Amino acid sequence: MLDPSTRKVSDVKHTVAAAASSSSASRAKHFLETCKCPSSAAAYGSYGELVKDKNVDIIYVATPHSHHYQNTMLCLLNGKHVLCEKAFTVNAAQAKKLAETAKEKKLFLMEAVWTRFFPLSIQIRKMIEDRELGAVHRVIADLSFGEDVENTWGANGAKHRMVNMDLAGGALLDLGIYPLTWCFQTLYHTVPASSRKPPSIIASVEQYATGADEKTSMLLTFPSAPGGKHAAHGIALANFRVATDPDGHYTSGPAIRIQGTKGEIQVSGPAFRPTHYRFIPAEEDVDPRKVRQGANPKVKEVDCPIPGQGMFWEADECARCIRDGRVESEIMGWEESIVIMETMDQVRKQGGVKYPKKIETLDYPVSM
């Protein structure tokens, strides 16, 4: 665990008090040892034991998203604050129920979209809010990896977590949440809360043999976008067959393009953990038919290195909210998590992707 001072943080700190595995305490102990957690941290062989530990303030739920609703509800009903991995739940109804429960119990709850808390993301959102891009008209975001899925996943490919329906597998919930995150944090979150409206959605989905989606393309129309009264398009792409970065060197260009009337921001690196962006200002009276060569001296290149893994920024946000008595984050609030889940519900509906009832249900508890 990195010292908070390495990221210039002095107002909060974190201590790992315990970890739990659903299968054995030895696995939890191995995890704690591997991560070099304090020797005082307890290792449990069940989640039920973990939520009873009085030394635990907040629990990070990092199970498959098929289990998020059940696991998070267990924590909340036992008085624990929760940071739950994305995708937040399997559907919007579950997300709403968790938010209602957290509000009723006066407990902090947040979807763990770590990308939202990177300095790079914060800088880009500020540029949009400050109108450095003018009116933003389009965002294109992709997270895909080229995989020979049948050969790589083998004869038991149907049980692989990425396409296992019992684990809510598929490109959308596993990869697509990141392109959607970029569309929402640039075209939705940067608009005043009173003016935000959910996007309309057109989706194209191809299903794998298990019924999970393996290729999903989404066209989102945000009716009130930053910088003007116009609508804006968000294009979010996720695919198991082709890669955003086919050669591993970002030769193919940016994973995210944010296009406004005053210029464009290009974000390099994987959509979930980018470390560089460039701002290309628009030039006036440019004839696009004329070919221009040479580097543009006005282009701004910005490196945003991430020390360690980078999950500490969202942890800092959790600590500050709990310290200040807030039950939700202003950066990643319940309303926005629910709207994104509603968007994915609509994409799945259009693509004919349906998960088993036991992981879509609002019933609790349900044995998983």
Torsional sign, CA 226, 231, 232, 236: positive
Domain of residue 325 covers 4-17+57-114+312-360
How many domains, the chain? 2
pTM value > 0.85: yes
Which pLDDT tens digit goes with each residue over 88-106? Answer: 999 999 999 999 999 999 9
Which pLDDT tens digit goes with each residue over 95-141? Answer: 999 999 999 999 999 999 999 999 999 999 999 999 999 999 999 99
In-domain check, residue 49: no
Instruction: Answer yes or no: do 234 and 88 share one domain.
Output: no
Sequence-distant (6+) residues with CB within 8 A of 315 are: 14, 83
Least confident stretch, 110-119, 181-190, 227-236? 227-236
In-domain check, residue 27: no
Instruction: Answer yes or no: do 175 and 232 share one domain.
Output: yes
Instruction: Answer yes or no: do 299 and 321 share one domain.
Output: no
In-domain check, residue 165: yes
Instruction: Answer yes or no: do 278 and 216 share one domain.
Output: yes
Q: What is the C-alpha separation between 110 and 91, in angstroms, rounded?
A: 16
Radius of gyration of the chain (CA): 21
Instruction: Answer yes or no: do 67 and 211 share one domain.
Output: no
Smallest Cα–Cα separation from 60: which of 328, 334, 315? 315
Predicted local confidence at residue 1, as pLDDT: 61
